[in-house]
Structure 1
């Protein structure tokens, strides 16, 4: 039984020290497929839809304060159209951009028999700086019949 399933099974109980830390397979199958594609409601795992993820500096994004996630770590849903657009940021404190660290890679099922999704890792660079700011984001896409769905799960981590 996966960590997410165990938590949902006992969601009425309080878990001291519990953190949301799903595997890549759970991010695709549980977070994206069940919550967004199938539109199955889950009161425990209500991740935010974000319309300004690529418009603000990562440290200026609003988010729900909760002990469910690690400090400086959040998950957001965005649309595929937002991901396909410009990843340049003209923020309040600086300008910068999200730079892909390699190409889109496969996320395979636990039994490694099929590709269930794709992921891309990005790093945030402040304009004029040669080194990354330390903020990273992994975008997760689910596949349906070989084509992408309309929602993307973004896992944002700060330094």
Structure 2
């Protein structure tokens, strides 16, 4: 005969449940156990979030953005050089040129007596595109397509840019 339906079976089940509390209730028995369990999960979640934030920051700032930043700085230096040519201001042109090119410009300005800061230019130069920027420590090259008001057909060339005293300067004449 089966004991489960009898008084003996019911008594046995009650005795088993008292002696094995997890059999009747698998959840933690005290609020301290539940609190510790929740604290563990919160700490685990915080650690995961901090790790994810650290990895995202490293990927954004540490991995490759230095190259991207240098490329952006080179692009800015090229555009600044041509903008200074268009203004015709001697100090801007020399300031945006690498030291060897600046010396050539300075000599040319002195010989021709130009660079009077009048801003009058017989022509203007327009940069159509800057591409394929390659940075090698303190030098860089870039493919430039440009035209001028006196020669509207696009002209392509590879420009050299150098980092001098922490700033990128245009070096191609």
Category of TM-score, reference length = shorter chain: under 0.3
More helix as a share of residues: 2
TM-score by length of 2: 0.26
TM-score by length of 1: 0.27
More strand as a share of residues: 1
Whose RCO is larger (CA < 8 A, sep 6+)?
A: 1
